Amino acid sequence: MPAMRDFFQRRGKFRPEEQADDDRAEHNIPEDLWIKCPGCSELIYSRELERTDRVCPKCAYHFRLRARQRIGQLLDPGSFTEWHASILTEDPLAFADGSGSYEQKLEQTRTKSGESEALIVGRGSIEGQPVAIAVSDFEFLGASMGSVFGEKLVRAIELAEQHREPLLTVSSSGGARMHEGLFSLMQMAKTVSALAQLGRAGMPHIAMLVDPCYGGVTASYATVADVIVAEPGALIGFAGPRVIEQITRQKLPEGFQTAEFLLAHGMIDMIVPRVELRDTLATLLRHYGEQIQAASAARNVPVSSNGHV
């Protein structure tokens, strides 16, 4: 029998969202753990979930992936080379809030997540097709875009142009990193102008939006793309639905901000289940690869078979 005070505490299914995210941050999941599916409430054996690339075998709910899991799943085995792993975020505003300083938070996040920043960039191949890739890690401060996130992305865009390879970004994010204030917001303009340059050079940007993708990331580089692909059920938007409802004082339609809703309203190009992602991306890369080869031949720019100049 629960104590009376328990009725007034948020727990179980009434936990606030932030706490649910913290639970997912436990990336060292014991191998014999049972995980409850948020889609169908079935208990799934964690090893089975790893075998299905973290898609529920009962209802096809797509669990979130860490950035390196995503890279491992999308790229050809052993093909990934990381770029700029050693750039570290500084604390330009000496920011602190009630929970401590930004510096302390960064230190704790690095230890907990095993990553140095919220964005991992590099190059690799998908079914032999060369690609530059940038993947955000939601477990690192909600994959918020700060100055180093922006800088790494811009460098990846520039390297994609130099190598004459398509760029693939995989974005899940809470938006701009508030701890860096205006420096964070500036990354929106900086990344988009780098993408414009990539476009002028004739290199495509393929954007994958995965759950959840919000704020300044959705409003900048993540949706400035030649093709926008989303995973089923992914929540994508700028402001959260509660904020919009409070401001507009209107009830939002059913399924608002889901990938399916956005596809129906023309904001994204396709929804691809995780199991088909590699095939779909390889088809897109082959298509664009042929165009890059043809354009390079016409401009007399040498491109080797693996895309390197």
Is-contact 166 160, C-beta < 8 A?
yes
- Nearest CB to Zn ion, comparing residues 49 and 222: 49
Interacting positions 16-55 with Zn ion (CB under 5 A): 37, 39-40
Is-contact 49 31, C-beta < 8 A?
no
Q: How far is the CB of 42 from Zn ion (least distance, A)?
A: 5
- Nearest CB to Zn ion, comparing residues 45 and 238: 45
* Lookup: tokens for 214: 């919000």
- Nearest CB to Zn ion, comparing residues 59 and 189: 59
- Nearest CB to Zn ion, comparing residues 62 and 164: 62
Alpha-carbon distance 144 to 130, whole Å?
27
Q: What is the DSSP letter of 146?
A: -
- Nearest CB to Zn ion, comparing residues 59 and 252: 59
Amino acid identity, position 50: E
The verdict on 56 binding Zn ion (CB under 5 A) reads yes
Is-contact 121 84, C-beta < 8 A?
yes
Q: How far is the CB of 250 from Zn ion (least distance, A)?
A: 31
234-237 CB contacts, 8 Å cutoff, 24+ apart: 234/62, 234/172, 234/209, 234/210, 234/258, 234/259, 235/211, 235/259, 236/209, 236/211, 236/212, 236/262, 236/267, 236/268, 237/213
Total residues interacting with Zn ion, rule: CB under 5 A: 7
Among 29, 59, 93, 243, binds Zn ion (CB under 5 A): 59
Q: How far is the CB of 52 from Zn ion (least distance, A)?
A: 11
Q: How far is the CB of 36 from Zn ion (least distance, A)?
A: 9
Q: How far is the CB of 61 from Zn ion (least distance, A)?
A: 4
- Nearest CB to Zn ion, comparing residues 37 and 225: 37
Pairing of strands 167-173, 100-101: unpaired
Is-contact 182 151, C-beta < 8 A?
no
Candidates 57-65, 75-83, 187-195, 272-280 — which segment interacts with Zn ion by CB under 5 A?
57-65
Only one residue has tokens 């500036």, namely: 186
Among 36, 58, 286, 287, binds Zn ion (CB under 5 A): 58
Q: How far is the CB of 260 from Zn ion (least distance, A)?
A: 17
Q: How far is the CB of 38 from Zn ion (least distance, A)?
A: 8
- Nearest CB to Zn ion, comparing residues 33 and 59: 59
Interacting positions 68-87 with Zn ion (CB under 5 A): none
- Nearest CB to Zn ion, comparing residues 61 and 95: 61
Please give the C-alpha separations between residue 16 and each of 40, 102, 109, 208, in angstroms, as whole numbers. Answer: 20, 23, 20, 27
Omega cis (within 30) before 166? no
Q: How far is the CB of 214 from Zn ion (least distance, A)?
A: 24
Helix axes 181-200, 147-163, angle to 10 degrees: 10
User: Rule CB under 5 A: which residues touch Zn ion?
Assistant: 37, 39-40, 56, 58-59, 61
